[in-house]
């Protein structure tokens, strides 16, 4: 039992066991399932406009941290930023409860090397929809950070810390939402919110929706949509997923040319993450945003 609890808080604890590396680590599934069950608490705590607003804001901010920094920066180095900004957005990304930046980027880099092949750990072609959506990250084999894939990132001790203690930031965010609700109940009772309501909506519901929106890029974006480019994988463009994930749904574009900061290659392909990064570049927070070369963008596609 001690070993199980340690794995919840310290990812340096061993997780894989010989002979069962592809099995779901059920002990680690408990907190994940607990978050989903806790969503039912909305019927007990009720709702208020301010709680819904906080939930939506935390969804957007954390989704941006995942798409812009966990994905386009840490995984693909599609732009540059300072070490301070790197840390700030790594913390925001860690608050999304999708493990640490090294773990996330390492597995994503491996995905691009092996996309939809036998060694791709979250390919719906290889293991089915449910495994690609969530089973893969609950398995013992994929618990550890693939350090060989992120040697450039691992030289920063602050990123290694966030990666090892990946539940720390989410726990602090949960406490912060609880504290905000308690404060608002005291100083602005007319808003109709309280500590438990803010915790349930602001942290729990927002996080669970964020989970599944992000996971759709591994599952749905490889099964439903259009293929502009004849990539070697099954990636597809899906406008609905792009709206849900701030631009990540242009997945076939991304697999065609993963080095670009922008994933909506054309003006009509809405990519809010790109817009946000452009805005940050005006203030010098990020720079050297990598464009899509015209020849790459206009390459003949599959038309499917």
| pLDDT tens per residue across span 81-113 | 999 999 999 999 999 999 999 999 999 999 999
Is the pLDDT assigned to residue 258 strictly greater than 50? yes
**More confident call, 44 vs 13:** 44
pLDDT of residue 174: 98
Is the pLDDT assigned to residue 18 strictly greater than 90? no
pLDDT of residue 69: 98
pLDDT of residue 180: 98
Mean per-residue pLDDT for 171-195?
Answer: 97
- SS3 of the chain: the string is CHHHHHHHHCCCCCCCCCCCCCCECHHHHHHHHHHHHHHHHHHHHCCCHHHHHHHHHHHHHHHHHHHHHHHHHHHCCCCEECHHHHHHHHHHHHCCCCCCHHHHHHHHHHHHHHCCCCCCCCCHHHHCHHHHHHHHHHECCCCCCCHHHHHHHHCCHHHHHHHHCCCHHHHHHHHHHHHHHHHHHHHCHHHCCCHHHHHHHHHHHHHHHHHHHHHCCCCHHHCCCECCCCCCCCCCECHHHHHHCCCCCEHHHHHHCCCCCCCCCCCCCCCHHHHHHHHHHHCCCEECCCCCCHHHHCCCCCCC
pLDDT of residue 227: 96
| pLDDT tens per residue across span 112-156 | 999 999 999 999 999 899 999 999 999 988 999 999 999 999 999
Is the pLDDT assigned to residue 21 strictly greater than 70? no
């Amino acid at each position: 039992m001690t070993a199980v609890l340690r794995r919840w808080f310290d990812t340096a604890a061993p997780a894989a066991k010989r002979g069962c590396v592809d099995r779901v680590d059920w002990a680690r599934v408990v907190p994940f399932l607990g978050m989903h069950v806790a969503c039912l608490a909305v019927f007990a705590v009720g709702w208020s406009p301010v709680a819904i607003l906080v939930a939506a804001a935390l969804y957007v901010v954390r989704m941006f941290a995942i798409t812009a920094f966990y994905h386009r920066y840490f995984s693909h180095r599609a732009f540059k930023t300072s070490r301070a900004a790197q840390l700030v957005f790594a913390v925001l990304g860690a608050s999304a409860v999708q493990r640490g930046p090294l773990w996330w980027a390492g597995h994503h880099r491996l995905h691009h090397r092996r996309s939809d092949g036998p060694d791709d750990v979250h390919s719906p072609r290889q293991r089915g929809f449910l495994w690609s959506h969530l089973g893969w990250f609950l398995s013992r084999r994929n618990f550890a950070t693939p350090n060989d894939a992120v040697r450039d990132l691992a030289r920063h001790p602050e990123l290694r810390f966030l990666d090892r203690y990946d539940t720390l930031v989410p726990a602090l965010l949960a406490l912060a939402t609880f504290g905000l609700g308690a404060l608002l109940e005291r100083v602005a009772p007319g808003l109709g919110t309280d500590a438990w309501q803010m915790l349930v909506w602001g942290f729990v519901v927002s996080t669970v929706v964020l989970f599944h929106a992000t996971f759709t890029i591994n599952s749905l974006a490889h099964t439903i949509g259009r293929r502009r480019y004849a990539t070697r994988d099954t990636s597809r463009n899906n406008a609905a997923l792009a709206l849900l994930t701030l631009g990540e749904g242009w997945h076939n574009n991304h697999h065609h040319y993963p080095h670009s900061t922008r994933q909506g290659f054309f003006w009509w392909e809405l990519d809010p993450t790109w817009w946000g990064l452009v805005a940050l570049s005006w203030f010098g927070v990020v720079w050297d945003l990598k464009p899509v070369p015209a020849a790459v963008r206009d390459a003949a596609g599959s038309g499917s």
